[in-house]
Each structure stands twice: as structure tokens, then as C-alpha cells.
């Protein structure tokens, strides 16, 4: 593997520099907010590398990012809601896999993007839940996340909106989101492995991009510690709107190209 790693670094410095820059910037967002890394990095790097070559490596980096953050957020995780979110996710994931085969991807992404942007704008204007949702609502949110992730690879918005519309502290929401994505990424890599998608090249790319990831995550996490809870909530919602817009733009391009 070391020989392959060195060959990958030597083969194309321009691709390495551009992809590492994308990883670094996406990692800052990940360390800061707890989400957004996959969509940002895959969208950017897909301009220079095939998506199928990118996704397994990004999932491996997502796991590394979460593990790197876990020690600092462990005590802030809201286990009660998180447990039911994960149960719901497992229920919804195979439903999403079925939808992947039958549902048109681009129109569904546009509808989801409009929903996320509308909800985030309402929250920016002061909407919030008076109390943390119970078991049924938590499970339903996790199920929605599983369906969306299985169908379109975008299961994050329901969980992010769930935590940042509740009265809990911003640190609790961020910590719970980070652990939730560690759980979903482990499931994703396990599935990829059974399909033969995780290869030696996936690990080589992950190792090449790892320094950019770790530095970016550290910078983002350091920035989070300096912000007030309300400022952090606003930044999270702005990032969520930007990601939703990015997803809608990608879907619109798919429709225009006839994909």
C-alpha cells in the first residue's frame, strides 16, 4: 500500500492539490457544524474525478472525522433521542433503497431542497419547538433520514433540523449529529464493502487526503468553541440552506442534461 500511496502522490500533483483543497474546506465545515462534509467534498471533487472513485474514500474520511471529534463531544451526546433516531434510520434505509430504483432522483432532490430551505428560513426567523420531541417523533425523523439517505444519499437535513429546532443546547445538537453520522457512515462503508466498492484505491485516496481532513476539522472545531449558541445555530442554518441550494443546483443540471 505504501508503494501505491507514493505512486498516487507522484502521478498528478494538480489533481492532488485541488482535491486536497476541497477536502480541507469541507472539513472546516464538518468540524464546525458536525455535517456537510460529504456533499461539499463530493460535489467539488466530482469535477475532476469520477464519483464512483470518490464516494468510498469520502465515507472513510467521514468516519475518521467523527472518530477524531468523538472524545471532545462524548459527554454532550443526547443518547435518548439519538437511540430512536438510529432505530428509525435502520427502518427507513431499505425503504430508501427501494425508492432509489423507482423514484426519479432529480425532482425529489429539488422538492427536498425547497423543504429544507423553507424550514431553515422559518427557524432563522425564530421558529422553534417548545420541547424536545418524544420517542415517536424521534423515530419518525430517523426513518425519514434513512429513506432519504438510501434513496438519494442526503439523509442529513431531517436530523440537523430536528436538533436545531429543539430547545437543547447547540453543543448537544452538534455532538448528537456527529455521532449519528458516525453510525450511518459505518453502515454505509459496511454496505459498500459487501458490494466490493471499497477497494485498495479507496484506502490510498483516504490516506492522501487525511492530513487536509484532520487540519480542517481542527480549525472548524476550534471556531465552534469561540461562538455563542445562537450565533452557531444561525451559522448551521445558513450552511444547511447553502447545501440545499447546492443539491438543487446539481439536480437542475441533471434535468437539463436529461440524466
Tell me the pLDDT tens digit for each residue of 20-29: 999 999 899 8
Assign residue 153 a region (left: φ > 0; alpha: ψ between -120 and 50; beta: otherwise).
Answer: left
**Tally of structural domains, the chain:** 2
The pLDDT of residue 87 is: 95
Contacts of 20 (CB under 8 A, 6+ apart): 208, 209, 211, 212
The pLDDT of residue 238 is: 87
Pair (122, 237) in one structural domain = yes
Pair (159, 60) in one structural domain = no
**Boundaries of domain holding 12:** 1-75+196-226
Q: What is the pLDDT of residues 77-124, one digit of tens each?
A: 999 999 999 999 999 888 877 766 666 767 777 877 888 888 888 878
Q: How far is CA 225 from CA 31, 76, 165, 213, 217, in A?
A: 11, 14, 20, 19, 13
Pair (138, 259) in one structural domain = yes
Distance (Å, whole) CA 104 – CA 235: 31
Distance (Å, whole) CA 115 – CA 120: 8
Distance (Å, whole) CA 248 – CA 254: 10
The pLDDT of residue 3 is: 55
Three-state SS for 38?
helix
pTM summary value: 0.77
The pLDDT of residue 75 is: 92
Pair (143, 96) in one structural domain = yes
Does residue 111 form part of some domain? yes
Distance (Å, whole) CA 35 – CA 177: 7
Pair (220, 112) in one structural domain = no
Does residue 241 form part of some domain? yes
Does residue 84 form part of some domain? yes
The pLDDT of residue 11 is: 57
Pair (151, 87) in one structural domain = yes
- Give start and end residues of each alpha helix (H) in the chain: 2-11, 13-33, 37-45, 51-73, 79-102, 105-124, 135-152, 156-164, 170-194, 200-225, 229-257
Pair (103, 137) in one structural domain = yes
Name the stretches of the chain with pLDDT < 70: 1-12, 99-103, 105, 129-130, 151-153, 258-259
Pair (201, 234) in one structural domain = no
**Phi, psi torsion values for 154, nearest 5 degrees:** -135, 65
- Provide the grid cell at 176: 448528537
The pLDDT of residue 258 is: 67
Does residue 177 form part of some domain? no
- Provide the grid cell at 35: 455535517
Pair (97, 115) in one structural domain = yes
The pLDDT of residue 156 is: 80
Pair (70, 103) in one structural domain = no
Does residue 175 form part of some domain? no
Pair (220, 251) in one structural domain = no
The pLDDT of residue 118 is: 84
Amino acid at each position: 500500500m505504501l508503494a501505491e500511496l507514493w505512486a498516487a502522490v507522484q502521478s498528478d500533483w494538480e489533481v492532488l492539490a485541488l482535491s486536497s483543497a476541497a477536502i480541507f474546506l469541507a472539513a472546516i465545515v464538518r468540524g464546525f457544524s458536525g455535517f456537510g462534509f460529504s456533499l461539499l467534498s463530493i460535489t467539488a471533487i466530482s469535477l475532476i474525478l469520477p464519483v464512483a472513485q470518490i464516494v468510498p474514500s469520502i465515507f472513510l474520511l467521514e468516519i475518521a472525522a467523527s472518530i477524531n471529534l468523538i472524545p471532545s463531544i462524548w459527554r454532550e451526546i443526547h443518547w435518548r433521542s439519538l437511540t430512536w433516531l438510529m432505530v428509525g434510520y435502520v427502518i427507513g434505509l431499505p425503504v430508501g433503497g427501494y425508492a432509489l430504483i423507482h423514484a426519479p432522483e432529480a425532482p425529489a432532490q429539488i422538492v427536498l431542497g425547497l423543504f429544507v430551505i423553507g424550514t431553515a428560513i422559518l427557524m432563522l426567523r425564530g421558529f422553534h419547538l417548545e420541547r424536545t420531541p418524544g420517542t415517536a417523533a424521534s423515530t419518525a425523523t430517523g426513518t425519514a433520514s434513512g429513506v432519504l439517505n438510501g434513496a438519494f444519499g442526503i439523509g442529513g437535513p431531517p436530523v440537523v433540523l430536528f436538533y436545531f429546532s429543539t430547545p437543547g443546547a447547540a453543543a448537544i445538537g452538534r455532538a448528537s449529529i456527529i455521532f449519528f453520522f458516525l453510525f450511518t457512515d459505518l453502515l454505509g462503508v459496511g454496505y459498500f464493502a459487501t458490494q466490493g466498492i471499497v477497494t485498495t484505491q479507496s484506502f490510498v485516496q483516504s490516506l492522501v487526503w487525511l492530513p487536509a481532513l484532520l487540519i480542517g476539522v481542527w480549525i472548524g472545531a476550534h471556531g465552534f468553541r469561540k461562538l455563542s449558541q445562537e450565533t452557531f445555530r444561525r451559522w448551521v442554518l445558513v450552511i444547511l440552506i447553502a447545501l440545499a441550494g447546492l443539491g438543487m443546483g446539481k439536480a437542475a443540471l441533471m434535468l437539463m442534461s436529461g440524466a
